[in-house]
Each structure stands twice: as structure tokens, then as C-alpha cells.
Amino acid sequence: MTKKELSQVYFLKREIRQLEQRIKELETAAMLCTSKITGVPNGTGINDKIGNYAAQIADLKSLLALNLRKCVYEFNRLDKFIQSVDDSEMRTILTLRYLQGFSWQKVARSMGNLGDGSTERKKHNRFLKLS
């Protein structure tokens, strides 16, 4: 498995957070949007801001659902790969880095090392090069 394949869960989670934030922003904007009711039309075009927000929200929610399904699939695929690794230390490194999303420094600290994570990163890189 390549670094790019291993990183898919991280980037999918990031995309999901961005989509959720955008949906919240659109929902807030839609709630703050008020219609002007005067009884007299005051324009030549139809402007339905709430309808536009609703359409955008629906599109983003379907994209969010798709990304959530992809994330579950990739997480399971990655977990199966990690569980197939014979070396317990390497399984821990891979789990912390790719499933938990830890920085290299946090990986090192979680493993009881006070360094910057360069040792764990080097072990990880050697492992990927050899596999």
C-alpha cells in the first residue's frame, strides 16, 4: 500500500469536515434570509434565495453522504491492511498515523518516546519501501 492510499481516510475526513461546515453556513444564511412581502412586484426576474440555498444544501448533503460512505470503505480497507502487518510496533505506528490521524510527534509520544517522531517516520518509510 502506498502513502497516498494510506492517507485517503485523513483527506476524506478533512473533506467531510469542510462539507459539514459549508452546509452549516448555508443553513444559517437561509435562516437569515427574509422575503420582502409588499403586495407589489418589484423586479423583472425571479429571485428565490431560500430556494437556491435549499438546492445547494441538498447537493452538498448528497456529496457528504457519498464521502461518508467512501470514508467507511477506505477506513475498513486500511484497517484490514494494518491488521495484516506482522510487526506489532508497525501496526501501532500505522494505526496512530493513518486511522487516528496523529502527527508524527504525537505518534512518538503515544508510543512513549519524547522525540519529534522522526524515528517512527523513518521506520514507517522503511516499512513502506520494503513492502
Q: pTM of the predicted model, to two decimals?
A: 0.76
Structure-block grid coordinates of residue 48: 428565490
What was the pLDDT predicted at 40? 56
What was the pLDDT predicted at 116? 92
Task: Report CA 16 to chain centroid distance, whole Å.
Answer: 4
- The confidence band for 39, taking pLDDT boundaries of 50, 70 and 90, is low
Q: What is the DSSP string of 46-73?
A: ---HHHHHHHHHHHHHHHHHHHHHHHHH
Rounded-to-integer distance, Cα 12 and Cα 71, Å? 6
- Checking if the pLDDT of 42 tops 60, the result is no
Name the one residue in this structure whose C-alpha cell is 514507517. Answer: 124
Rounded-to-integer distance, Cα 86 and Cα 119, Å? 19
- The confidence band for 118, taking pLDDT boundaries of 50, 70 and 90, is very high
Rounded-to-integer distance, Cα 76 and Cα 83, Å? 10
Q: What percent of the chain has a predicted confidence (pLDDT) above 70?
A: 89
Domain chopping of the chain, boundaries: 1-71, 85-131
